Structure 1
Amino acid sequence: EVEGALRLTKLSQQFAQELEQCYAAAEQTEESAATCTTAVHSEDALVVAAVSQVAAAEVAHTEKNYRELNIRRRAAEAQVLSARNWSSLYELAPAFWQQYLGFRRRKDEINELLLEAWTKRAQTEACGGGFLALCLDDSKTSGLNLWEAKFLQERLNSCSSASVGVGTDETATLLLARAVCGHSSLEIVWPYAGAEEQVGRYEGKNLAQVLASQAQWLNAVLLPEGQSGPGSAVPQIFIYAPWQSQLEACSQADAKADLPEPLWSAWQQKVAASLEAGKQVYIADLAYANGGSRQLVSWLIESGAVAKIAGYSAWNTLGNALGTILAWAALASWRRACPKFKASPAEQARLEKEQRRFLLERLLDDYFYQTLIRPQLSAKVGGAFVLLGKEQQLALESEILTQEKSYLAQLVQAWPEKKLSPSLKVELPWRRLFEVGLEVEL
């Protein structure tokens, strides 16, 4: 099996080189058709069948058939990317593989039509400042979707009102904040030099690239640390980035993704200094996927900083958590700047209450549920994605509610002067443990 996989990998690498030559030749002809034929010979029937379907192509690079060119390219790229694991491709029936590629081609055609319509709209006054976000979710550093995104971005380079970016679940929040705020400024505080190069478990780009694409969707200016000034009202986004690489939150016994000393102590001091200066501090807990850092949240609670920070996010992927905290900070900052808010103590009290409520929900969901409760219950039922029976669902919801009430009682002690007596609702909306519905009332 190993020898076969190595042989197939070598063949696929040869195919990749020939494919690049095919692209180079095709792209040199802007007005006339170019014929590019790639032939790969192999004794392995499956490789021959897979390659022959996409390798030999006569490409006319004109605007009329631009869409067809992209579709053929993507089909060819599918073979190149699959070359990373040809042994797995062996196990796929050819009919299944063709059906899968067919689904992706159909999606590509829809995206192409959408882009054509958007480009025409953006050229008219009817556009009205709209923005089109094409989202990639749960990506790796290689995959068909990344190649598709590359071609889509090429089409969008001439359109400033659209872009391809990382993340999906948080995108609606970013676009809502863009629509409400219009423009935002956020100060980014990194934990160490080079943190921006870290790549999350479910992102095809590094942290700096994810941040840049989400800032574009938000229409936000990102200020380097210290540039907002001592008395500035610009929110600070403290990014708690992975140290070596991002791990799953349920497997952090060795805390290898957490900041080591002396970086950890320096980071705590920075947060404490900003809080002491009255800054609006938002924490993006990104060291682990699908949950938060035990080291970080334990310090927030034990030090009392949890009652002073403006926001916290750690749910699901790096992109999900980061996008949520950016939109949250932008919306709250916009609200504080409104004349109506400044002139109304009642509005100020209302915002403070909603900020605290959402902070509690994020901690109960992002940290306590995803990091502590869900792994424990998933082990009992056979996994977080197992479809639950009705009685099983009700029993688990009751167990989650009991545990979360205990954690909530621990959290509200950080605000002794408020004498909080919150209520809590819990549900499993999709009849599985992966996501939980949490609602705090203060």
Structure 2
Amino acid sequence: MKKIVCLLLMCFCIVALTLPVLASPLKPKILFVPHDDRPVSFAQTADTVRNLDYDLVLPPQNLLGNRTDLGHPDELWQWVFAQAKNADALVLSSDSLLYGSLVGSRKHAYTQADIIKRVEQFAQLKAQNPRLKIYVFGSIMRTPRDGAASGTEEPSYYAKYGASIFRLTELQDKSETEGLSGSEKKEQAKLETVIPTKAIGDWMKRRQTNFAASSRLIELSRAGTFNYLALGRDDNAPYSQTHKESRLLSKQGEDLGVTKFQALAGIDEIGMVLMTRAVNDLSSNIPFVTVRYADGIGAATVPSYSDEAISQSIRSHLLAAGAIQIPGLKRADLVLLVNTNKDGKTLEANWPQNTIVPRDNTLSFAKMVDLYVSQGYHVGVGDIAFSNGADNALMAELAKRNLLPKLTAYSGWNTATNSTGFVLGQGIMAPKMTLQAKNNLLAVRYLDDWAYQANIRQSVAGELSKIPGTGSYGQLDQKKADAVKATVEKMNIFVKQNLSDMEIDKISIDFPWNRMFETAVTIQSR
């Protein structure tokens, strides 16, 4: 009997040795279609997942939308269908697949029939791949406060009538939720005569088309097409057309529950949030996250470009990412610390107030970061005291305490929800990476959010008039090469002065959208 057992064991070992492929299972494959090709939306989100044990597949960049090319939705659909059969999960931007891109969702000329036809392809995709996990994120069309806030990413009439359009929809939304005073009713009536019928008609027609598409996506979610659907409120306010549409869509999908669908504040960060959910689902992981705020209003802060308290936005992002917020520290996989101003106001990073001089709660917040890092927790910092850049006073204090390389994740770019959603994703995934990979992601954020957005951007912008050739801040053109050179030079100086312990060897940058608002930062580490 023993001889037979030994013989069987030998046979098993021989067979195992002759089948090496079977002994090494393939990495799970995730397909990711972002809402455009901006660095944070595309490359930087992708780089986060690349540092994990997953096979990440991205569409050809020329199919994605950018500032001047609104994108190629039909070609993207062809790519998705061809690649999906070999994937385990899909994280898809409905803006890219319906309109071409996020900017395309604001400017497209497609009919509602065209858009709904594309929406139905999600159902076809699921029918052909019934075991495939599908996560979809889309935008509820934004309502910029004025033409300047639109950044030329709205139809041309918004430059002249944007402020009036915003105010009109602000009053209309308020009228439906709490009513208007007599003077507000008169103001609304006047605005309805000031804005040209052609302009408001075009703007509202596109919104109605997009709203119908979002409504249909909710119905597909109810039918089980998606593992998760997130509809983000792009640049927003407590009263606006965006807020109104979100109210109606949330009501439509409230029976689905927050574990299947949410309409939530923000948009640029939601690709990262749903990539995090896909990774968590594929690894059967449910992270526990503890959230703490700076002294003052803290959790009750309603940031610029948002319509709700930041604590609600963070709760929504955690649910969308497949994580659970817990009150205590004992079981926390990540401690998220949120830097807010004591009075709850969100300033702009390029304003004079953003100095290295500590404000009322800067030192106490840095002390809190120091405490949790020293206790061995994975710590992420959501830096939202300023929009569109880091808090100089906080960053100087963290550098002084040698805390920057010790953080698990950091984000301080663009809007508050962009920052908190992005840092949650990287913070949840970073502990599974090598230390070098984690530090490289941190270095990019420090160079982008702190060095560039909060400091160098303004400095180089001030020098543009001295650079020969045509071009401007919003359209660099012939000035681009010199602006790139100047930015790299200033970044190298910044690294020597502030980030010498991050082991950054070489920095490359680009302005992929031919403007200075955002930059693509890549590094080589020592």
TM-score by length of 1: 0.70
CA distance in 2, matches of 1:148, 1:364: 36
Tell me the alpha carbon deviations over residues 250-280 of structure 1, each in whole angstroms, 9 at most, x when there is no partner: 11437699750xx433323222222222222
Cα distance, 1:195 vs structure 2:
1.2
Matched, 1:169 2:268: yes
Check conservation: 2:173, 2:244, Cα contact below 8 A.
Answer: no
Check conservation: 1:242, 1:257, Cα contact below 8 A.
Answer: no
Cα pair distance change 1:246/1:384, threshold 3 Å: farther
Cα distance, 1:193 vs structure 2:
5.5
Tell me the alpha carbon deviations over residues 11-60 of structure 1, each in whole angstroms, 9 at most, x when there is no partner: xxxxxxxxxxxxxxxxxxxxxxxxxxxxxxxxxxxxxxxxxxxxxxxxxx
Mark the runs of 5 or more structure 2 residues left unpaired by the alignment: 1-167, 175-183, 466-470
Cα pair distance change 1:421/1:140, threshold 3 Å: closer
Report the equivalent of 2:75: none
Report the equivalent of 2:417: 319
CA distance in 1, matches of 2:193, 2:458: 34
CA distance in 2, matches of 1:253, 1:77: 32
Cα pair distance change 1:77/1:306, threshold 3 Å: closer
Cα distance, 1:297 vs structure 2:
0.6
Cα pair distance change 1:255/1:407, threshold 3 Å: closer
CA distance in 2, matches of 1:246, 1:79: 23
CA distance in 1, matches of 2:506, 2:354: 35
Cα distance, 1:379 vs structure 2:
3.8
CA distance in 1, matches of 2:192, 2:358: 37
Matched, 1:436 2:519: yes
CA distance in 2, matches of 1:197, 1:256: 25
CA distance in 2, matches of 1:254, 1:432: 23
Corresponding residue pairs, total: 335
CA distance in 1, matches of 2:334, 2:170: 43
Report the equivalent of 2:474: 386
Q: Which has the greater radius of gyration? A: 1
Cα pair distance change 1:384/1:193, threshold 3 Å: farther
Report the equivalent of 1:219: 322
3-state secondary structure, aligned to 1:422: strand
3-state secondary structure, aligned to 2:264: strand
Matched, 1:269 2:357: no
Q: 1:287-326 to 2 correspondence within 5 Å?
A: 287-326=385-424
Report the equivalent of 2:291: 188
Mark the runs of 5 or more structure 1 residues left unpaired by the alignment: 1-75, 336-349
Cα pair distance change 1:115/1:356, threshold 3 Å: same
Aligned counterpart in structure 2 of residue 158 of structure 1, from 248, 255, 266? 255
Check conservation: 2:356, 2:394, Cα contact below 8 A.
Answer: no
CA distance in 2, matches of 1:398, 1:311: 28
Report the equivalent of 1:406: 493
Check conservation: 2:335, 2:378, Cα contact below 8 A.
Answer: yes
Cα pair distance change 1:254/1:320, threshold 3 Å: closer
Report the equivalent of 2:61: none
CA-based RMSD: 2.6
Cα distance, 1:281 vs structure 2:
1.5
Aligned counterpart in structure 2 of residue 372 of structure 1, from 443, 455, 478? 455
3-state secondary structure, aligned to 1:215: helix
Cα distance, 1:89 vs structure 2:
4.8
Aligned counterpart in structure 2 of residue 118 of structure 1, from 216, 221, 230? 221
Percent identical among aligned pairs is 19
Check conservation: 1:246, 1:257, Cα contact below 8 A.
Answer: no
Cα pair distance change 1:233/1:100, threshold 3 Å: closer
CA distance in 2, matches of 1:159, 1:384: 48
Code of the aligned partner of 2:439: R
Report the equivalent of 2:329: 228
CA distance in 2, matches of 1:428, 1:243: 34
Aligned counterpart in structure 2 of residue 240 of structure 1, from 328, 339, 342? 339
CA distance in 1, matches of 2:362, 2:487: 32
CA distance in 1, matches of 2:488, 2:230: 37
Report the equivalent of 1:60: none
CA distance in 1, matches of 2:219, 2:435: 44
Matched, 1:178 2:261: no
Check conservation: 2:228, 2:261, Cα contact below 8 A.
Answer: yes
Cα distance, 1:405 vs structure 2:
1.5
Report the equivalent of 1:58: none
Matched, 1:142 2:239: yes
Matched, 1:80 2:179: no
Cα distance, 1:91 vs structure 2:
3.4
3-state secondary structure, aligned to 2:444: helix
Aligned counterpart in structure 1 of residue 207 of structure 2, from 87, 104, 120? 104
Cα pair distance change 1:79/1:425, threshold 3 Å: same
Aligned counterpart in structure 1 of residue 380 of structure 2, from 279, 282, 285? 282
CA distance in 2, matches of 1:293, 1:403: 18
Report the equivalent of 1:249: 349
CA distance in 2, matches of 1:257, 1:405: 23
Cα distance, 1:413 vs structure 2:
2.4
Cα distance, 1:300 vs structure 2:
1.2
Cα distance, 1:411 vs structure 2:
4.1
Structure number having the greater helix percentage: 1
CA distance in 1, matches of 2:322, 2:499: 35
Aligned counterpart in structure 2 of residue 362 of structure 1, from 431, 436, 445? 445
Tell me the alpha carbon deviations over residues 292-348 of structure 1, each in whole angstroms, 9 at most, x when there is no partner: 111101111122121322221100000000001100111123x2xxxxxxxxxxxxx
Check conservation: 2:362, 2:393, Cα contact below 8 A.
Answer: no
Check conservation: 2:287, 2:323, Cα contact below 8 A.
Answer: yes
CA distance in 2, matches of 1:173, 1:428: 21
Report the equivalent of 1:346: none
Code of the aligned partner of 2:476: L
CA distance in 1, matches of 2:221, 2:494: 47
CA distance in 1, matches of 2:298, 2:461: 32
Cα distance, 1:214 vs structure 2:
0.8
Tell me the alpha carbon deviations over residues 92-115 of structure 1, each in whole angstroms, 9 at most, x when there is no partner: 212222222111111112222222
TM-score by length of 2: 0.60
